[in-house]
Amino acid sequence: MRCMSYPSNIQDMIDDFAFLDDWEDRYMHVIDLGKGLPPLAASDKTDQNKVKGCASQVWLVSERSDEVWTFAGDSDAHIVKGLVAIVLEIFSGRSTAEIAALDANDILSKLGLAEHLSAQRANGLASMISRIKSEAAA
């Protein structure tokens, strides 16, 4: 059943995850999403772009053109890189107001990820989301 409260790309992602029966399949899907993420330029892997609060190294870069935000990111860990890809899918290509309105925790819950992440990964994911929301609000 489709919930129309989310943009189509997010709903498509929720539908894709719903199709996967068990956590191991979802885990592999997250890793595959990370493999599809374009690599971040070495020049963008700076301390300024590093997300604090992540156990793995995570970098996020943001750019605003008119009212639309574009985010890019990378990580040195496969599963975390997949989580970066999910966060970018949720927030990239949206306005400041859309970013502020999105409930990432609800989306992650619908993906069936929230309850399966270690505390460290969950904290890192929260740090990525917080960083994007605060950059968009600034």
On whether the CB atoms of residues 84 and 45 are closer than 8 A, the answer is: no
Parallel, antiparallel, or unpaired: how do β-strands 68-75 and 58-65 relate? antiparallel
Out of 54, 85, 102, 113, the active site residue is 54
A 10 A CB-CB count for 65 gives 7
Q: Going along 93-133, which residue ranges are E strands?
A: 94-95
- Whether 3 is catalytic is no
Integer Rg of the chain from CA: 14
Residues in a beta bridge with 105 = none
Element housing 61 (H / E) = strand 58-65
Catalytic residues: 54
